Structure 1
């Protein structure tokens, strides 16, 4: 939705009428500054959003050089607009409008509106001057090797960071406003000739169809435009790293920037994108492949390990070696709860500790989580409420969950874990297999802006598998992933494999 905070009313040639209309639309607010000059000109801006020094230096000073009689003479001759434009050229982002709604939007964006008696139009100058956070190191997606910069809460700062990564005229940015009350600026970014035009049109259609009061974070947008809103698995990625967004655009994805948040949405995505990290491409391919395999294993462990422990200790004790079975039986001898209740107590306790560590002040948050886990775990074992093996299972499950790079996938894995635990407690291994197969079928049915969620594995595309589960060397990744990129799918030319002097490549 690209609505405006006011009705589309044209401006009047009378300065007093225009000022009354703007006062009516902006309300009786103390931070709205209306500066009337003796020569029949006026400026309207919001204190705190506009830079008052820029307004004084680049707008008021040039306007004061225009006398009242000169302004009246220019108005009668129809040359007032051209004369004002030439005097205000020092102000950047100078636009002319005859709409009161556009003038109000400019003021709310931190700009300044210039009005003149006898001119039925207004000039809007970009004079933003609010406080903004500096570009810092990413907080949630850190890397050992790679860029140390992240997006901020300012839209233009974020788009400039992207422009520094992709210095191509084919990079397209389309801006629209969403939210009747917040009038949040949302920018759609893609590379012309690489991104699928159908995906761009569909995503823009979904964005323009949003009709709500407020957009305060990109998660608002995500819930309105995702393909499967009832699925626990995310179908859109989010990142605060400019290099991750640039890499996504170069593969054919489309980015959605939202003013006021450092997290940018990326789509379409596949399940394999969530288990990949930016650092995979900043180190050798063999090390990156090894780490990726660890992530996939950790993802499976984070969902299945507690359920497997419950199923084996409850229904399938014969699967354990005799020595291990005797050890577990000895540990559980004094535990008054069945394995399922024991696991639920520990899992819920860990979730409470995790949430407490996040919500507590930073000074005491880590201490609470670490001390709570150590003290509660040790005390629970000594009190005979849980077994030592269960503490190990829950701890290793939590550690495996932290290996996954995407936070929204870790949350999904936690939800699936509880469902599989219930199935394991009722049906044993058969319940785990049934639940896991149901999850795979559900994943195969998902789409992200029309792209199959499990591609390039289902449907199978061998060339795109080079950068899915494993990461092949850069010189083998000649084409962009099928399904994401359309048009120009070639990433690099042939024969890029390095070779020593005097030896042909590949020999």
Structure 2
């Protein structure tokens, strides 16, 4: 954005009558009229930009510049124009102290660069200029329509907080501050985008997050040179370690409690203006299979559900491939009665098993995407009715067999067990090459595909951290929150990459023991 302002500035400041000492590039003029003309030139053909001129205390010409819809017009009238247009007698020194000490606005900042003035106006903060003053004044009167705090639609739960981030950075940062009240919670702000100037905030807890991680994140964010940032995925693709992997190396969430839980484990959070989804780094593969609700219910229930996720993860990836491989190459593995039943159902199907599986999987994925894109009132009905009608019609027409419809339905249900949507997409993508391998090499092809996936996962890094940690490399102390969820009184240490700074998150030995001093009610 500064680059574009300088281009406009070079046109507006080339005036033949200006023969004084050259000003620094982008600095405001000493002449009030020249400053006004420069702003009018930059904001030409911008009907939403308001230039309100008035006389300051009946003595000096002044002008306030703001954008309709981004600034608090009522505040401008009440706190700026109304008191400043009164013809009150002020001495020259008092007038020169204005407006830091005279305007009833909490946030007033002096600016002397035109690019800073443009940035302030674009953020909703009006700029005040008056005759005899070289600098402008940014008034903290930004106000625009914001979406209220709502329950996250993509990460709903039975128990836990019901609020999520929204598109306003101010609200998102306040939600984190309300949960984590320590001044050790640091927030580094920067702007990315030549035209959008999108605010990006790097959040971490000083003393828990590793300094090399924060430095690396800061360097990668500063290297981004792009016209605009409209969503956090722009940044995710720019800073991740392996952009060609189907597996996400950065976790995205719209829940403040999830962000705070990761901050307390030494990770960093990236908030982006204009989107409710924040980014969390570093992560591991197992982070994708952990839900916020695992920690809001009893550990036995959480352990059972988490183990169920791992089982259905394997079903989602391998079930269609196993069905195709067994029918094509390994019929002897199927019991005789079941094999006769499957053969009878496939007798009228003209396609081999792999074509049948691909046809049904692609149709199922199309129905799922249609249900997501359609309005909520009809999306669920279309996806469910479409699956029932198309599946039944395809079986009756002899295009697919009934067992294949069952396999695809179970696979679809299994994919919904993955709590992270973007991790589920990676499994859905890998399902298709696995089916092709099973159709060509049978169970051997499936084993080759699994080995290739494991090798790929072992090679991945998330900001230097192994993607399969704490399994590879093995860290036994951290297995208590991996396949199972241990009770809270057992999870007294933090992950390894913050252990050297602050190893313990709670006092050890907090297991409830009524016989050791706790009174029974």
**TM-score clears 0.5:** yes
CA RMSD of aligned residues (A): 1.6
Match of 1:52 in 2: 73
> How far is the alpha carbon of 1:62 from its aligned partner?
2.7
- Specify which of 333, 338, 343 is matched with residue 357 of structure 2: 343
- Specify which of 42, 66, 81 is matched with residue 25 of structure 1: 42
Separation in 2, partners of 1:3, 1:396: 54
> How far is the alpha carbon of 1:26 from its aligned partner?
3.0
> How far is the alpha carbon of 1:238 from its aligned partner?
0.2
Counterpart mapping for 1:182-331 below 5 A = 182-331=196-345
Separation in 2, partners of 1:325, 1:35: 83
**1:47 and 1:122, CA in 2 relative to 1: closer, same or farther beyond 3 A?**
same
**1:298 and 1:81, CA in 2 relative to 1: closer, same or farther beyond 3 A?**
farther
Separation in 2, partners of 1:58, 1:383: 74
**1:102 and 1:464, CA in 2 relative to 1: closer, same or farther beyond 3 A?**
same
Deviations, residues 175-215 of structure 1 (Å, cap 9, x unaligned): 11001111101110000000011111101111110001110
Separation in 1, partners of 2:96, 2:309: 63
> How far is the alpha carbon of 1:12 from its aligned partner?
2.1
Aligned residues: 497
Match of 1:362 in 2: 376
Separation in 1, partners of 2:338, 2:498: 49
Separation in 1, partners of 2:3, 2:152: 34
Counterpart mapping for 1:77-476 below 5 A = 77=93, 80-88=95-103, 90-476=104-490
The answer to whether the 8 A contact 2:2-2:115 is kept is no
> How far is the alpha carbon of 1:13 from its aligned partner?
2.7
> How far is the alpha carbon of 1:66 from its aligned partner?
6.0
Separation in 2, partners of 1:492, 1:23: 60
The answer to whether the 8 A contact 1:195-1:486 is kept is no
- Specify which of 13, 32, 35 is matched with residue 15 of structure 1: 32
Secondary structure class of the residue paired with 1:363 = helix
Match of 1:42 in 2: 63
Secondary structure class of the residue paired with 2:496 = coil
> How far is the alpha carbon of 1:98 from its aligned partner?
0.9
Counterpart mapping for 1:484-503 below 5 A = 486-503=500-517
Separation in 2, partners of 1:443, 1:62: 65
Of 122-131 and 143-152, more deviation after overlay is shown by 122-131
Q: Which runs of 5+ in 2 are unaligned?
A: 7-24
TM-score by length of 2: 0.93
Secondary structure class of the residue paired with 2:514 = coil
Secondary structure class of the residue paired with 2:497 = coil
Deviations, residues 57-116 of structure 1 (Å, cap 9, x unaligned): 12222322365x74xx52xx5x5442321111x213221111111111010001111112
Separation in 1, partners of 2:269, 2:2: 22
Separation in 1, partners of 2:374, 2:333: 43
Separation in 2, partners of 1:56, 1:317: 82
Deviations, residues 312-331 of structure 1 (Å, cap 9, x unaligned): 01000111111211111111
Deviations, residues 93-146 of structure 1 (Å, cap 9, x unaligned): 221111111111010001111112111111111212211100001100011000
Secondary structure class of the residue paired with 1:36 = strand
Runs of 4+ in 1 over 6 A off after TM superposition: none
**1:258 and 1:485, CA in 2 relative to 1: closer, same or farther beyond 3 A?**
farther
Secondary structure class of the residue paired with 2:63 = strand
- Specify which of 83, 92, 101 is matched with residue 62 of structure 1: 83
Secondary structure class of the residue paired with 1:475 = coil
Separation in 1, partners of 2:192, 2:443: 49
The answer to whether the 8 A contact 1:274-1:405 is kept is yes
The answer to whether the 8 A contact 1:5-1:105 is kept is no
> How far is the alpha carbon of 1:163 from its aligned partner?
0.7
State the structure with bigger RCO (CA 8 A, min sep 6), 1 or 2: 1
TM-score by length of 1: 0.95
The answer to whether the 8 A contact 2:478-2:495 is kept is yes
